[in-house]
Amino acid sequence: MNRSTLTALTLIAALFSGASHAAEIKLLNVSYDPTRELYQDYNAAFAKYWKAKTGDDVIISASHGGSGKQARAIIDGLEADVATLALAADIDALATKSDLVPANWQTRLKHNSSPYTSTIVFLVRKGNPKNIKDWNDLVKPSVAVITPNPKTSGGARWNYLAAWGYALKHNSNDQAKAQEFVSKLYANVPVLDSGARGSTTTFVERGIGDVLLAWENEAFLAVKELGPDKFDIVAPSLSILAEPPVSVVDKNVDKHGTRKVAEAYLEYLYSPEGQEIAANNFYRPTDEKVAKKYAKQFPKLNLITIDEVFGGWTKAQKTHFADGGVFDQIYAKK
């Protein structure tokens, strides 16, 4: 039998059998948009580590997209072994809208199950022609702001909440004033992409907008990939501590028999090696030693947390991003 017939047969076989019975272990990591490069590096490192430790080959597949969209896909049957999403609310959805993970998933790993953190910064065009320094510059009428849709994108929700947090602080915690501020900001948004990477492309490739509200890692990556001569990163006076969480998808790993390797995959993220890979991909490490080593790379920022300002993700999600929530009201007005 020649090779192409064999390939065709394998493809047909793959078509009819969902689960593979090959000797090697397969793992599917369903993640959000900007982690592509991080997990490309990390998957290679973990496969090596796992091979050395157990002798087994592990092949890790990845799927990336807007965090909310990815959670939706997992609920609809995308058989992720691990979910590494942009915010806790999206993994919460796996627990509330289906029984894929238990309600207490976030307590299973250190630091609220977030092995790395990030924050929201501004990416502006070289030389900062509109002189954008802080959040209050974004509501000026002449400034076009690029940010994705908070309904589908995790990063966008962090952007939104950081802006809200800033407005609260500068208006002595007046929620109505904060809403007015955020409304003004979204009035300056010409395009709402569905994911963070889409927004980055809109800003850097299509040249739309004066400022991109971006994940810090995404901003660093854009500068690195497309040249430091094109963009500047601006750190606002205040931003939000973003904790992108990770979890094993219990029902799927039990079905696939991959629980052990899936758990090891997430735990290894917390190891010095995993933390170094995160830092090299511009995520802030949670391990103190590694954080110290890379301290120079990240600007010092005044960071608020979602728990202290918004009372946690469940509450923030319900108030701001649920159907008919504050974001819908703001955007309907536009």
Partner 1 sequence: MATQIQRRISTHESVSVTLLLIVVALSYLVLFLGIPLFAVFVQALSKGWELYWKALQEPDAWSAIKLTLLTAAIAVPANLVFGVAAAWAIAKFEFKGKSLLITLIDLPFAVSPVVSGLVYVLLFGAQGWFGPWLQAHDIKLIFAVPGIVLATIFVTFPFIARELIPLMQAQGKEEEEAAVSLGASGWQTFWRVTLPNIKWGLLYGVILCNARAMGEFGAVSVVSGHIRGMTNTMPLHVEILYNEYNFVAAFAVASLLALLALVTLVVKSLVEWQAKRSGEPLHHGA
Side chain identity at residue 318, one-letter code: K
Judge whether 122 and 214 are in contact, CB under 8 Å: yes
Nearer to partner 1, 151 or 320 (CB): 151
Min. distance of Cβ 114 from partner 1 in angstroms?
24
Q: Does 332 bind partner 1 (CB under 8 A)?
A: no
SS3 for the chain is: CCHHHHHHHHHHHHHHCCCCCCCCEEEEEEEEHHHHHHHHHHHHHHHHHHHHHHCCCEEEEEEEECHHHHHHHHHCCCCCCEEECCCHHHHHHHHHCCCCCCCCHHHCCHHHHCCEEECEEEEEECCCCCCCCCHHHHHCCCCCEECCCCCCCHHHHHHHHHHHHHHHHHCCCCHHHHHHHHHHHHHCCCCCCCCHHHHHHHHHCCCCCCEEEEEHHHHHHHHHHHCCCCEEEECCCCEECECCCEEECHHHHHHHCCHHHHHHHHHHHHCHHHHHHHHHCCCEECCHHHHHHCHHHCCCCCEECHHHHHCCHHHHHHHHHCCCCHHHHHHHHC
Min. distance of Cβ 216 from partner 1 in angstroms?
17
Kindly state the number of chain residues that form the binding site for partner 1, as judged by CB under 8 A. 30
Judge whether 280 and 48 are in contact, CB under 8 Å: no
Q: Measured between alpha carbons, how far is 331 from 151 in angstroms, rounded to an integer?
A: 11
Min. distance of Cβ 259 from partner 1 in angstroms?
17
Q: Measured between alpha carbons, how far is 279 from 273 in angstroms, rounded to an integer?
A: 10
Min. distance of Cβ 144 from partner 1 in angstroms?
21
From the list 36, 169, 177, 259, which residue makes contact with partner 1 (rule: CB under 8 A)? 36
Min. distance of Cβ 256 from partner 1 in angstroms?
11
Min. distance of Cβ 251 from partner 1 in angstroms?
9
Nearer to partner 1, 79 or 180 (CB): 79
From the list 25, 35, 47, 64, which residue makes contact with partner 1 (rule: CB under 8 A)? 64
Task: Identify residues 175-234 at the interface with partner 1 (CB under 8 A).
Answer: 197-198, 201, 225-226
Stretch that binds partner 1, among 31-39, 132-140, 281-289, 290-298 (CB under 8 A): 31-39
Nearer to partner 1, 81 or 216 (CB): 81
Q: Does 165 bind partner 1 (CB under 8 A)?
A: no
Nearer to partner 1, 43 or 188 (CB): 43
At residue 310, what are phi and psi to the nearest 5 degrees? -115, 0
- What is the DSSP pairing of strand 145-146 with strand 211-215? parallel
Nearer to partner 1, 81 or 210 (CB): 81
Nearer to partner 1, 64 or 320 (CB): 64
Nearer to partner 1, 125 or 197 (CB): 197
Q: Does 66 bind partner 1 (CB under 8 A)?
A: no
Contact letters for partner 1, residues 67-106 (x by CB under 8 A): ------x-xxxxx-----------------xx--------
Task: Identify residues 7-26 at the interface with partner 1 (CB under 8 A).
Answer: 7-8, 11, 14-16, 18-19
Task: Identify residues 271-300 at the interface with partner 1 (CB under 8 A).
Answer: none
Q: Measured between alpha carbons, how far is 321 from 23 in angstroms, rounded to an integer?
A: 44
Nearer to partner 1, 8 or 295 (CB): 8
Given the rule CB under 8 A, which residues bind partner 1? 7-8, 11, 14-16, 18-19, 28, 33, 36-37, 61-65, 73, 75-79, 97-98, 197-198, 201, 225-226
